[in-house]
Amino acid sequence: MAINPVPDHVPPEMVRDFSLFTSPGMPPTPNGDPHAAVACAHDGPPIFYSPYNTQDGRGTWVITRAADQRKVLQDTETFSSHRSIFSSILGETWPTIPLELDPPAHGAFRSLLSPLLSPKRVTALEPAVRERAIALIDRITASATSCDVMKDFAFPFTVSIFLRFLGLPDQGLDTFVGWAKDLLHGDDVERPVAARKIVAFIDELATNRRKNPVDDLMTFIVQAQIEGRQLTDGEIRGIGVLVFVAGLDTVAAAIGFDLAYLARNLKDQELLRSEPDRILLATEELLRAYPPIQLIRVATKDIDFEGAPIRKGDYVSCATMIANRDPEEFESPNTVDLAREHNRHAAFGYGPHRCLGSHLARREIVIGLEEWLARIPTFRIKEGTAPITCGGHVFGIENLILDWS
């Protein structure tokens, strides 16, 4: 693996050869299980230092325990989320909003957006979400007994719902998914190119909606007021980019990993198919077992945190997939138990930055599984094919060919 210089304040015994990017199972792997692979983080000390653990190759502290992640993510004064993950790709430092703002500035923007994705609002969206799932699955089953789930279902399903929410037409779907793929999984050349395209697109959309308001999210943002003023161009860009990027990849990845699990575990697949009432609870367990993201914070001051000498400016990684395999939080954490109760998993993070889209994401996964299982008979990974998984900043799966012939 790539070795960065370890800062002097990090005791050598706290450095571990572990990385969400380069450890075994993290690069693209046929038939991989990257979530299970990172569970090895619990074999060592609860907090350690990884010399290479961000997309741009920085070292981070790794917080493995769910209880410690809760402390980090709830304490926004010590652990800031202003680290410009997106804009740094362009060599810039502006925040995506509200994710990369800290309280109290964060609160006004969060309050502006929360009602748009509240549980009640999502309940109202449900019929449209279900209709979209059914239409896509019916199209697949009309002509085939196998498909590439990511291309034919997971991406078109989640992204089109999201585009509707943003007020964008479906025909941009493939282009947008391509940008997201380059941004999240691309190399050093592809990432800035994709980031630049996304920024240009959001800026143009904002200009457009200012001139011609319609009933969509971007119009809402350009017309919105916080603290008695309109939003600046930079704030509008920060919100637009975050919402755009957040919705393009994560839910599709979750659905992909979930269907891959069910394709390989026919007993569980049959259980959910014959007793669809179980899907709601099962979805929580699948969110626990296969969450796609890691959260990164930056220390605002020196702090000795649970024995780790964290210094101002250090990066702190709270990988949801590691917290979700914490044996102190979950009994038999590496066993997928679709009837698991009291499942307080970390898939949507903790603290004020709890995923704003969590309610929509949950509904999409539940509905996606319900309709898929109701319409597709027993499915398996197609013989002779191997889904390719990867770790990284957002875990992913592709080439997931399911067969029900």
- Give residues in contact with other proteins (CB under 8 A): 70, 74, 76, 103-104, 106-108, 110-111, 114-115, 117-120, 342, 344-346, 348, 350-352, 354, 358-359
Rank residues 136 and 355 by Cβ distance to other proteins and give the closer one.
355
Of 220 and 404, which has the nearer Cβ to other proteins? 220
Neighbours of 360 (CB within 10 A): 25
CB 48 to other proteins: min, Å: 24
Classify burial at 124, counting beta carbons within 10 Å of its beta carbon; exposed 0-12, middle 13-18, buried 19 or more: exposed
Residues 6+ apart with CB under 8 A from 402: 146, 147, 149, 259, 263, 376, 379, 380, 381, 382
Rounded to a whole number of angstroms, the minimum distance from the CB of residue 352 to other proteins is 5
Closer residue to other proteins in complex, CB, 196/344: 344
Beta bridge partners, 308, equal: 305
Least distance from other proteins to the Cβ atom of residue 364, Å: 15
Closest CB to other proteins among 108 and 193? 108
What is the phi/psi pair of residue 93, to 5°? -130, 15
State the Cα–Cα distance between residues 90 and 102, nearest whole angstrom.
22
Q: Which is nearer to other proteins, 101 or 253 (CB)?
A: 101
Compare residues 113 and 183 and give the one whose CB is closer to other proteins. 113
Query: In the 8-state DSSP scheme, what is residue 147?
Result: E
Q: State the minimum distance, in angstroms, from the CB of residue 108 to other proteins.
A: 7
Beta strand 315-319 with 60-63: parallel, antiparallel or unpaired?
parallel
CB of 112: closest distance to other proteins in angstroms?
10
CB of 266 to other proteins, least distance (A): 29
Within 8 A by CB and 6+ apart from 373, the residues are: 262, 269, 272, 273, 276, 279
